[in-house]
Structures are given as structure tokens and as C-alpha cells.
Amino acid sequence: MEIEELRDLVVNVLDDMKATDVTVIDVREKTSIADYFVIASGTSDRHVKSSAEAVAFQAKLAGEPPLGVEGVTEGEWALVDLNGVVVH
């Protein structure tokens, strides 16, 4: 899967999950740890948790399993590392 397809998958999943303030930042010229940062907000701890889990699950189904998922148990914040796309 191309990195742009993965980025679009993430944005679509977040849109389907009704995440708010979804922002995509192209960081290819700024860092080597990722190509894109996708930042989104949820309306509650449960919403943040379910959105992060949905992103991780759909990426895995698409053949791009997360390298790591952090913060999901608390739900106050979450980070999903999809190698070239980092979701927070």
C-alpha cells in the first residue's frame, strides 16, 4: 500500500468514526520518523479509544498492521504508529 493510500485510509476511518478536527500534516521534509501526522479529537475518552482501535483494525485489514499503539487503555489520548503515518 502506498503511503498516501494509508493516509487516506486513516482519514476515512476517522471520518467514519465522527472524529473532530482531523488535520493531516506532511512532515516528509521535517523528520525521518514519519511522512504524515494525522491529528484528531474525540468527544469523550470512549470515543478516542474506539477511534484509535478502528484505525488500528482497518490498517491491519489493509495489510498495514500498527508498529505500536499507545494510550488506548486510558482513552484520554491515543497514538497509533503505522510506520509512515502517525495518528494522534
Neighbouring C-beta atoms of residue 46, cutoff 10 Å: 10
What are the strands of the beta sheet with 79-81, ordered from one edge? 20-26, 36-41, 85-87, 79-81, 68-70
Mean pLDDT of 64-76: 91
- Burial level of 53, CB count in 10 A (0-12/13-18/19+)? middle
Q: What was the pLDDT predicted at 1?
A: 86
- Please write the tens of the pLDDT for every residue from 39-58: 999 999 999 999 999 999 99
Given a cut of 80, whether residue 75 has pLDDT beyond it is no
Task: Domains for the chain: give ranges and CATH numbers.
Answer: 3-87 (3.30.460.10)
Kind of pairing, strands 85-87 and 36-41?
parallel
Locus of grid cell 501526522: 37
Calculate what percentage of the chain has a pLDDT beyond 90.
Answer: 93
How far apart CA 14 and CA 51 sit, in angstroms, is 6
